[in-house]
Amino acid sequence: MDPVVQSVSSSAGHTFSKGVLPGIRLLAGLGVEGDAHLGTTVQHRSRVAADPTQPNLRQVHLIHAELFDEVAGAGFSVGPGQLGENVTTRGVDLLALSAGTVLRFGDRAGVQITGLRNPCLQIDGFREGLLKQVVHRGEDGAVVLRAGVMGIVLTSGPVEPGMPIHVQVPEGPHVPLERV
């Protein structure tokens, strides 16, 4: 399957889940128009409290719909926007991307992947036990984060369900994603 946008979501308030919309607009250097996390500096409450001058590397949150399929197998019903993502994708392994990968939506909007989402306890507040599905230890003992990726907006433009996603891998060696 070719990579595609399955759903888009946004919330003007600092809510855990975001409402599903027919479309969103990405604004270069800022994030999702009208979203609480829009800005050049950090907007996540815990990060603002620590240092409000940090650059906002979490302007856009993306999750692969395949994660919802996986957790459904463990008895958890989760849909687009419910884990706070702005863009739900299908057909691209977001977690395996190299840092700096650019995702183009249609022929205009572009997001550069900055790292992994660091899931928090709010996930268990949404669905008890779900946090263990999206954070666990690998066979080597390392923490595995599966709650999506974060990015910054490089190019403004609309993003709508059904749009193709073009993956532009950066030159050079693969750089594994780290939490941001």
Distance CA 80, CA 86 (A): 9
End-to-end CA distance of the chain: 29
H-type helices in the chain, by residue range? 45-50, 65-73, 122-126, 131-134
Residue from 111, 121, 98, 124 nearest 150 by CA: 111
Q: Please give the structure tokens belonging to residue 53.
A: 């001058």
**11 vs 44 pLDDT, higher one:** 11
User: Has residue 97 got a pLDDT over 90?
Assistant: yes
Q: What is the pLDDT of residues 22-81, one digit of tens each?
A: 999 999 999 999 999 999 999 988 888 889 899 999 999 999 999 999 999 999 999 999
What are the extents of the domains in the chain?
4-168
Asked if residue 146 lies in contact with residue 67, where contact means CB atoms within 8 angstroms, the answer is yes
Distance CA 39, CA 54 (A): 11
pLDDT at 47: 84
Distance CA 170, CA 88 (A): 22
DSSP secondary structure code for residue 170 in this structure: P
pLDDT at 45: 81
- Please tell me the class of the 4-168 domain: mainly beta
pLDDT at 117: 95
Distance CA 132, CA 145 (A): 10
Count of alpha carbons within 13 Å of 138, Cβ hemisphere only?
6
pLDDT at 121: 83
pLDDT at 100: 98
52-to-38, 42, 130, 136 alpha-carbon distances in Å: 13, 6, 30, 30
pTM score: 0.96
